[in-house]
């Protein structure tokens, strides 16, 4: 066999093994998504059975629940090339077609992979602090992806039971999301330990403060006095104790990321002066003045809007 032939055979073998591994990864991720959807459907059915007078009729789900996934064949190029499904969409208007696409196992899997790729952007500092083993880290990452997907999974489970996810069922959806998130929290605590869970909770609680410290870091990034790790951690702690924080409950109520705005106070800046340089304190003072200017502009705009509405010259 000539050298070019050997190279071609080696390349084909590596490609085949790689595609086989990718196919198996897709299979396991799809199975996990289907098991989670099944659990949510069972919880929804249990609640409906417990309160039959309030629960709408449950429709058949044989068409909306995907069939059990068969294990993929041994890795081979022809088999793995057919991973993507091209099942026909159900008939209906554009909305039903779009929802069918979003609820399909393939799209659910892609969205889970996207959520996994976004974890480091939010939790990289936590991962570094926890110092978990590779297996523990992988498990925590999967549980966090599940938590990010809770709202979508609950909505899919409700639709599969013939329930609307609009305002009339908002309380039921919120309750299901909270229950699912509580179960994931319990899994983190039981599988990874109380210490890991406590650090995770504290990390989530101080998300607005850490976002603000990132702004301070950005402000100082083009100077010679960026915050070091100890200064950043101390500033987060002081902000959590002394600053006012207005949390945005919109997404957080349904298991999403949520967020908040931190307002600097004079007390925060005074305490931060004990471990920040004069230039770093000056950056905080500049941010405080910018916050105050923004608040004043918002107040004036609000007063102007209310005055125009009262006089009938503005949009009610």
Task: For 261-282, write each residue's pLDDT tens digit.
Answer: 789 999 999 999 999 999 999 9
* Domain presence at residue 2: no
Assign 118 a pLDDT band (cuts: 50, 70, 90): confident
Domain co-membership, 135 together with 273: no
Assign 149 a pLDDT band (cuts: 50, 70, 90): confident
Q: Mean pLDDT over residues 211-232, rounded?
A: 93
Domain co-membership, 131 together with 38: yes
Per the model's pLDDT, the better-predicted residue between 93 and 187 turns out to be: 187
Domain co-membership, 213 together with 301: yes
What residue has token string 């005074």? Answer: 270
Domain co-membership, 66 together with 40: yes
* Domain presence at residue 163: yes
Phi, psi at 96, each rounded to 5°: -70, -35
The predicted structure's pLDDT at residue 77: 39
Domain co-membership, 42 together with 111: yes
Query: Does 65 score more than 60 pLDDT?
Result: no
Domain co-membership, 280 together with 156: no
> 98-113 pLDDT, tens per residue?
666 666 777 767 777 7
Domain ends where: 175, 202, 229?
Answer: 202
Q: Mean pLDDT over residues 78-107, rounded?
A: 51
* Domain presence at residue 266: yes
Query: Does 71 score more than 60 pLDDT?
Result: no
Task: Please state whether the predicted TM-score (pTM) of the whole model is above 0.85.
Answer: no
Q: Which domain holds residue 149?
A: 10-71+102-202
* Domain presence at residue 16: yes
> 301-311 pLDDT, tens per residue?
999 999 888 88
Q: Mean pLDDT over residues 140-147, rounded?
A: 92
* Domain presence at residue 81: no
Query: Does 260 score more than 60 pLDDT?
Result: no
Domain ends where: 141, 170, 202?
Answer: 202
Domain co-membership, 227 together with 164: no
Residues in the chain: 316
Task: Report the domain count for the chain.
Answer: 2
Degrees, nearest 5: CA angle 111-114-118: 135
Domain ends where: 156, 181, 202?
Answer: 202
* Domain presence at residue 316: no
Inter-residue contact 314 to 305 (CB < 8 Å): yes
Nearest CA-CA partner of 238 in 204, 276, 200 = 276
Query: 255-271: b or e for each residue (b if 16 or more CB lie within 10 Å)?
Result: bbebebebebeeebbeb
The predicted structure's pLDDT at residue 251: 39
Output the CA torsion sign for 199, 213, 142, 139.
negative
Domain co-membership, 126 together with 176: yes
Lowest mean pLDDT among 74-88, 129-143, 207-221, 301-315: 74-88
Domain co-membership, 221 together with 170: no
The predicted structure's pLDDT at residue 256: 38
Domain co-membership, 192 together with 220: no
The predicted structure's pLDDT at residue 34: 61
* Domain presence at residue 91: no
Domain co-membership, 249 together with 164: no
Highest mean pLDDT among 27-36, 79-88, 211-220, 245-254: 211-220
Per the model's pLDDT, the better-predicted residue between 22 and 311 turns out to be: 311
> 163-200 pLDDT, tens per residue?
777 777 788 888 888 999 999 999 999 999 999 999 99
Per the model's pLDDT, the better-predicted residue between 223 and 61 turns out to be: 223
Q: Mean pLDDT over residues 7-25, rounded?
A: 47
Domain co-membership, 166 together with 218: no
Per the model's pLDDT, the better-predicted residue between 122 and 55 turns out to be: 122
* Domain presence at residue 87: no
């Amino acid at each position: 066999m000539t050298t070019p032939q050997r190279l071609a055979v080696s390349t084909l073998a590596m490609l085949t093994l790689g595609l086989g591994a990718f196919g198996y990864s897709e299979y396991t991720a799809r199975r996990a998504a289907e098991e989670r959807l099944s659990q949510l459907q069972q919880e929804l059915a249990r609640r409906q059975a417990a309160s039959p007078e309030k629960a709408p009729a449950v429709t058949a789900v044989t068409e909306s629940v995907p069939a059990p996934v068969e294990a993929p064949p041994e890795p081979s190029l022809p088999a793995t090339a057919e991973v993507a499904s091209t099942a026909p969409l159900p008939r209906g208007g554009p909305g039903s077609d779009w929802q069918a696409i979003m609820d399909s196992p393939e799209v659910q899997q892609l969205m889970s992979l996207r959520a996994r790729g976004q974890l480091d952007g939010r939790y990289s500092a936590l991962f570094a602090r926890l110092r978990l083993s590779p297996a523990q880290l992988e498990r925590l990452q999967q549980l966090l992806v599940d938590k990010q997907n809770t709202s979508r999974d609950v909505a899919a489970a409700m639709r599969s039971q013939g329930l609307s996810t609009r305002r009339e069922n908002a309380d039921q959806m919120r309750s299901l999301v909270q229950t699912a998130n509580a179960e994931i929290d319990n899994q983190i605590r039981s599988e990874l330990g109380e210490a890991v869970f406590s650090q995770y909770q504290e990390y989530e609680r101080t998300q607005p403060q850490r976002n603000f410290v990132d702004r301070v870091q950005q402000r100082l990034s083009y100077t010679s006095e960026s915050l070091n790790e100890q200064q950043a951690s101390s500033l987060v702690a002081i902000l959590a104790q002394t600053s006012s924080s207005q949390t945005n409950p919109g997404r957080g109520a349904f298991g999403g990321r949520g967020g908040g705005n931190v307002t600097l106070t004079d007390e925060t800046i005074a305490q931060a002066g004990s471990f920040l340089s004069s230039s770093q304190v000056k950056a905080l003072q500049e941010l405080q003045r910018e916050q105050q200017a923004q608040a004043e502009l918002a107040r004036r705009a609000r007063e102007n809007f209310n005055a125009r509405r009262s006089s009938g010259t503005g949009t009610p």
